[in-house]
Amino acid sequence: MLPVTVHTFISAPREEVFDFIADLAYRPAWTNHYMREFRLEHPRSHGVGAAARYRLDAPMYRHWVETQIIDAERPRAVVEATRGGRYNRSGGEVLFELSREGQRLTRVDMTIWSEPGTPREAVKERLGSRRWLRRKSKVALERLRVIIEEHPERPLERATVASWEPRKAPRFGVSPREVSG
């Protein structure tokens, strides 16, 4: 698929925007209008190695997608590798590029591209999934802007690890205090 690129401007320092984007636990707060059942794959949700799984809610084609942060260069870029579709044959990447546009203004560019793994997925792509993805991604970046600029008073929606029990955290090499916030 040709890359889908959207952008927005956020009135906040790049470091603050980067920290929010690089934490997958906060992803449902600004993408839950098209990503459903978002679950972390590990208690550590921030930075390189953080991974999650969600159901992409595309029209006439709902499929599971796994994403993992493979590169995070603070405060410039976050790169995620994705796998999804039938038998996880489709691969792709999501790139967030953050550039300073002023003292407290950050431009966020989000680029998404994927390779369909089956002929069925290639047909779905040609039938409009690219336009749908561009529209939903633009809305997601707008929601991200509102969250960062306006600091909502209610707590943000956060993803959790499926069937996570904090008492079992040492088994996974994580302190229960490390993920309790």
Q: Is residue 60 part of a domain?
A: yes
Using the predicted structure, report yes or no on whether residue 147 has a pLDDT greater than 60: yes
The proportion of the chain whose per-residue pLDDT surpasses 90, expressed as a percent, equals 60
Question: What pLDDT is recorded for position 144?
Answer: 97
Radius of gyration of the chain (CA): 16
Q: Is residue 179 part of a domain?
A: no
3-state secondary structure 71-119: EEECCCEEEEEEEECHHHCEEEEEEEEEEEEECCEEEEEEEEEEECCCH
- For residue 153, give the CATH number of its domain: 3.30.530.20
Question: What pLDDT is recorded for position 171?
Answer: 62
* Sequence-ordered strand ranges (E) for the chain: 4-10, 35-40, 51-58, 61-73, 77-84, 90-102, 105-115
Using the predicted structure, report yes or no on whether residue 27 has a pLDDT greater than 70: yes
Contact residues for 180 (Cβ-Cβ < 8 A; gap 6+) = 166
Question: What pLDDT is recorded for position 1?
Answer: 67
Q: Is residue 117 part of a domain?
A: yes
Question: What pLDDT is recorded for position 43?
Answer: 82
Q: Is residue 100 part of a domain?
A: yes
Using the predicted structure, report yes or no on whether residue 174 has a pLDDT greater than 90: no
Q: Is residue 171 part of a domain?
A: no
Greater pLDDT, 87 or 37:
37
Lowest-pLDDT range, 4-8, 43-47, 107-111, 140-144? 43-47
What number of other Cβ atoms are within 10 A of residue 25's Cβ?
22
Edge-to-edge, what's the strand order for the sheet holding 77-84? 4-10, 105-115, 90-102, 77-84, 61-73, 51-58, 35-40
What is the SS3 assignment for 69?
strand
pLDDT in tens, 99-139: 999 889 999 999 999 888 888 888 877 787 888 999 999 99
The predicted model scores a pTM of 0.86
Domain that holds residue 64: 4-165
Question: What pLDDT is recorded for position 134?
Answer: 93
Q: What are the beta bridge partners of residue 75? A: none
Q: Is residue 174 part of a domain?
A: no
Sign of CA dihedral 29, 117, 69, 71: negative
Mean pLDDT of 16-44: 94
Which backbone phi and psi does 142 adopt, to 5 degrees?
-65, -40
pLDDT in tens, 52-87: 999 988 887 788 999 999 999 999 999 999 998 888
Using the predicted structure, report yes or no on whether residue 178 has a pLDDT greater than 70: no
Q: Is residue 33 part of a domain?
A: yes
Question: What pLDDT is recorded for position 99?
Answer: 97
Q: Is residue 176 part of a domain?
A: no
